[in-house]
Chains A and B, each alone.
Chain A
Amino acid sequence: MDCFTLENLTFSYESAAENALDGVTLSFREGSFTVICGESGSGKSTLLRCLKTSLLPKGSVSGKVLFRGVPISQTDARTQAAKIGFVSQSPEAQTVTDTVGRELAFGLECVGVSPDTIRRRVASTATFFGLNEIFYRRTSELSGGQKQLLALAAVTALSPEVIILDEPTSQLDPLAAFSFTEMLARLNRETGVTVIIAEQRLENVLPFATDVAVLDRGRVVCSAPPAEIAACLKKNGSVMTAAMPASVRVFSALSGEGECPVSVAGGRAFLKEYMSESRGKAENAKRRVPQPHAFAEREKVFESAASDASPVNPHGMHARQKTRGEIAVFADRCYFRYGKNDADIIKNFSFTLYRGEFFALLGGNGSGKTTALKLLGGIKKPYSGRVNANGRIGVLPQEPRMLFSKDTVREEILHALSGKRVSTAAEKSAARGASAFFADENDVSDTCRTSFDSNTRVEKIAEICKISHLLDRDPFDLSGGETLRAALAVVLAQSPDILLLDEPTNGTDAAFKSYLAKLLSELLSRGVSVFAVSHDVEFCAEHADRCGLFFDGAIISDGTPTEFFSDGSLYATAAARMSHGIIKNAVTVEDILTALSFGNGRNGGIQNQHDDKKNVCCDCGGRLCEDDASAAFSAELRRPSEDDRQAETQGKANVHGLPLTEMHRGKTEVGGSAERRNETVCKNRLTPLRLISGVLFTAAAAAMLVVICAKINIFSPFPSLQNLTPTLKSLIKYSLLTVSLFGAVLSFGSKAKKAGEAECAETELSLRPRKNAPLPRRTAFACAGALLLIPVTVMFGVFFLKNKNSGIVSAAVLTECLLPFFIAFEGKKPKAAELAVLASLCAAGAAGRAAFFMLPQFKPVMALAVVAGVSLGAESGFLVGAVTMLVSNIMFSQGPWTPWQMFSMGIIGFLAGLLADRGLLPRRRAPLAVFGGVCAVVIYGGIMNPASVLMYSPQALNAKTLLASYASGFALDIVHALATAFFLFVSAEPLIKMLTRIKNKYL
């Protein structure tokens, strides 16, 4: 029986015009290794997500998906979780827990396997995957490849029958990608688990595949074993041939017969055979065939001036003008290390980058390429040696979103345009390359730069980067390719003369790569120098002027791509490895074909024979010509990509109810009508009875506090009680205090027990805008029990510790106060997305406290707790505050004040949520800032100052000492208050907007 059978599956996203999948009929055999390929937007991801109900996006689906003959919608969740494994493409985001062992056990715990079985399965899985050495290591210390392997192992531990993978190697470097694919193949071979993998990089995966399915715009174009896929694609004239591995493309272009080679070895064998055949034919026809060698002068040589002998690349890229080697960046014998006692990452690094040159730096993962880039960019300084730059430097980081800090793309570009920068005299005089970029061809003076209107410049930059339609979008809302283009726009807005790119083609498709190549060549022609760190060997081979290999702290072996790649080294393109020794100087597939078809190929080059109907370059085996690339790209821009659709329809629509791919979103007003329209306003109706009782109890508690502190004798009106022992008297006082506190809490707080208010969709204790489900009885009892512990502890303190160690007692009491919240959180059975959001917020607070460069006064924990309470509800506010303090004390320094800190931060978050839900605290930055500042002094100071007195001197807790502690702590409290208020004023609104959006989408 087939593992999965799809019959006429059709899927369309919500509010999308066309179908993402159209009548797909496929079947996946047991134990097969199926590769699903297609362009970006062809429906690969959608197809995979239809195979499992928990992954199914919002939309309408028709047709059948059968898992072992049973429709997937009828298969229960537990079977699906255990039998169908899923690995996605982001190594960082799909890791859930903090150690390798726990990650492996996570799935097994969720499914409910017994601990002994878990132990056994985890051990065997770890051994199979070779993870036993790193079993106790933290997941944050693993490399990307290791994380992906861990994800695969975690899924395998459940003993699934089929594993679905969505482009798992797109974010990995080649070596890690190869190990991952190999492990996957090994898994498939040795355990017979069915593998269904969607991939763009087919070089690695095709040799292992048993079946290949090609998708185009939601339809299956071809479905065949790999050996037959080339023929099938050619028959259908699909553009996908261009994405096939080098051996397939060569085979296809040379119209080979028989089995298509899928690996480099197979390709080599085929080439040799072809050569010997053609030589044989030539000999028969008495013709002399020159030794084939590829285009030796495809690279532009620096020394020669522009001449008419400059070669034309057969695919139409114009040769770049060359000027005499003017130096753009110069590094001389640099040494760098991160820590004083660490090893040198950069050793004796010397390098020169010339103006108008594109240099690509290749090298293994973790070799230090990015560090070298940082040195050149001035982000890090070498401890020995120097780096000189002639001109302005723009850096595109590996994570392009690190450049974004505003609400819209337009603002980002404007912000970059207005950057105040300290430019040296050398920079000013040399800064002409990129600034000329934005000027008219006729007007190259420096002053023209300032005469441009900002908005015009923004429009121009957007046009160049093809993001004109995205200018008013949220920069974090864009898909992968759009994010890169927007980041490029931000970098270009600074008019750099030297562009440093860190992995610019990571996770992108062929269309984007050709766009990037075009953009770079335009920049280069205007004198901008480009330095790119990349592990995309193919891209560098095709477009770079010089390539270098980074090894052992410096650049070794740099040269033109032909020199660099065709000397038989292992670090080379597939085409180079395939043709080494057979064809000289061939680096790309085009080189091979050129050499074989037309020998030298200098005169006129290949005629671009287009099959106009199908846009296929017949002679070159499907390579997209430049015009076609841009045409395809523009078409792609008009069609919303899969990422967009997925992102938008993951949950509900966005705040305005508009699909994200439509026109410009205006700025959402936080706290304005837009938000109120979508946020279910829920006034927590406090019945008069509860209000009165709450007030009474609070008053009683306050009165008892005063009595205790001032040592008033309340027993004087009661003569019969006068004879009680002093201990009993204090016991009575304390009991009264705790009872009144308890009553106050019950009156105001325990909303969850009111099951009647079902119409109130959002309550302060609930994270989800859903029906107010009452707490389960068990949880309610646990909460009550925890609260009752408080008076017991107090009595214990009074009796046995003789009231001398109030510090310990109050710590215990506070911990017991925290318990009901945690227990209630537990009883709510939080969803995965809720946990993820809370974890993210807590991590932000803990990290903000710990990052060493942060100002010491900058403690974002309180502000984050307030923001969390205001946007996600009172309980989440409490959790964020308490758990952040717990985590930062666990990770960084354990102090005796942990329970107090947890409690005060938690209460502040809780209060913020409570007040915001009742409408008493507007969600605007000014009131929130004031609230934050007041809380810092009153609540946090109010709890922490007495706490320190309690620790130092429990006996001395009287009014005077309290006052003294407040006075001494006042300065710190004020600083804390100002810092919190400032942070809230600056960031509260964007954060609330972001959290509300996340809440609407996923919760």
Chain B
Amino acid sequence: MTLRHPAAQLICFFCVLLWLAFGGGKTRALFAAAGGIPAAALAALINALFNRAGSTVLFRLPSGGGVTLESTLYGVSSGAMLVTVLVLLACSERVLDDERITALFGRRLPSLALLLSMTLRAVPSFVRCLTEINALRRPAGRSAADGNLRQRMRSCAEILTSAMRISLEGVSLTAESMNSRGYGLAGRTSFSQYRFSARDIAALIYFLTLGAAVFACAVKGGFSFDYFPRISHLRFDAFCTVSCIVYFLFCIFPFAYNLTEVLRWTASRSKI
């Protein structure tokens, strides 16, 4: 992801997009990718205008500086990286949901995990409360949709304050419920429904080994590609090719893992 070699970037983007399409559906993947295009364009523009490094000048701006080819292409590369990050985040949203985050935090930072859990519980009912209060104010003409901007802002503030007061009144009952179940006693354990199985460990080892391999290749220069002062030629010598293959294996791993799982399950279910 952080590599600048065009081949590496393409590989990464392609693998991540594939994973999103697989898990979230084609349309979702297309939307995520399409949503990244303005970001990429913006990155290219910023770099083109502000980055003065590079030797091939395309044209001169009125202010005197020159827009260089290298910086524009660098911008495109940054944009591609940005889009990849966005799509990756969209994937992680599906995988790393709050259940897993809380499970991760659970042992090391239990209070924070509990705070997250309590907040996540409270948000939907809070939103409902806000909507209800807003609806109740509508016949009186005082909802968040009536009046000029100042009145609307004031209504929003009042609605939020009312909802907060209602929610804060329940604090003592929640605290009572927690205390009566023993919150605050020493020796708190942490329960998560996720257990480390042998397959998880194997997958982790595989992933880490590949990651280390990619890292080694990167350090050794397998992905070396400079934009400045001059774009280096795309040479696919042996080492570079090997690095790219290793990188591909690394990036395609999540998708491949999920795919094999699905195939296996479909195969076993087809026997019913």
Contacts and interface: CB of A to CB of B under 8 A. Distances in A.
Q: Do A and B truly interact?
A: yes
Interface of A: 52, 54-55, 77-78, 81-82, 84-86, 88, 90, 92-99, 101-102, 105-115, 118-119, 122, 138-141, 151, 154-155, 158, 374, 377-380, 393, 395, 397, 399, 401-405, 419-422, 476, 494, 650, 800-801, 804-805, 808, 822-823, 825-826, 829-833, 835-844, 846-848, 850-851, 853-855, 858, 860, 879, 883-884, 886-887, 890-891, 894-896, 949, 951-956, 958, 960-961, 964, 979, 982-983, 986-987, 990-991, 994-995, 998, 1001-1002
Contacts, number: 355
B74 A896 contact: no
Interface stretch (B41-49, B243-251, B264-272): B41-49
Contacts of B101: 890
A895 B89 contact: yes
Q: Is the interface of B mostly helix, strand, loop or mixed?
A: helix
Interface of B: 2, 4, 39, 42-43, 46-47, 50-51, 53, 71, 74-75, 78-79, 82, 85-86, 89-90, 92-93, 97-99, 101-102, 109-112, 114-127, 129-136, 138-145, 149, 152-154, 156-193, 219, 228
A808 B130 CA distance: 37
B177 A88 contact: yes
Contacts of B219: 800
Contact of B161 (A52, A850, A991): A991
B185 A403 contact: no
Contacts of A122: 191
A112 B189 contact: yes
B114 A835 contact: yes
Contacts of A839: 115, 118-119, 121-122
Contact of A93 (B51, B144, B173, B189): B173
B166 A401 contact: yes
14 contacts: A88-B177, A110-B182, A119-B191, A158-B181, A402-B166, A832-B175, A840-B170, A843-B119, A860-B157, A890-B116, A896-B86, A952-B47, A956-B51, A964-B50
A115 B119 contact: no
Contacts of B114: 96-97, 835
Given A401-B166, A405-B161, A855-B152, A140 B124 contact: yes
A85 B176 CA distance: 12
A986 B187 CA distance: 45
Given A837-B168, A842-B115, A960-B50, A832 B182 contact: no
Contacts of B172: 650, 833, 1001-1002
Given A401-B165, A891-B120, A955-B74, A836 B4 contact: no
Contact of A883 (B119, B140, B173): B119
Contact of B121 (A139, A886, A954): A139
Which 9 A-B pairs have CB atoms at the shortest separation, nearest pair first? A81-B182, A843-B122, A93-B170, A839-B118, A93-B173, A107-B181, A112-B187, A140-B124, A832-B178
Given A374-B135, A825-B111, A953 B75 contact: yes
Nearest to B43: A952
A82 B193 CA distance: 22
A830 B117 contact: no
A835 B111 contact: yes
B144 A855 contact: yes
Nearest to A799: B219
Contacts of B2: 801, 804-805, 808
Contact of A952 (B46, B97, B181): B46
Nearest to B126: A847
A855 B164 contact: no
B89 A847 contact: no
A130 to B, nearest CB: 19
Given A93-B174, A894-B90, A105 B47 contact: no
B145 A886 contact: no
Contacts of A891: 98, 120, 123
A650 B174 CA distance: 13
Given A94-B173, A379-B138, A844-B164, A109 B116 contact: no
A831 B114 CA distance: 12
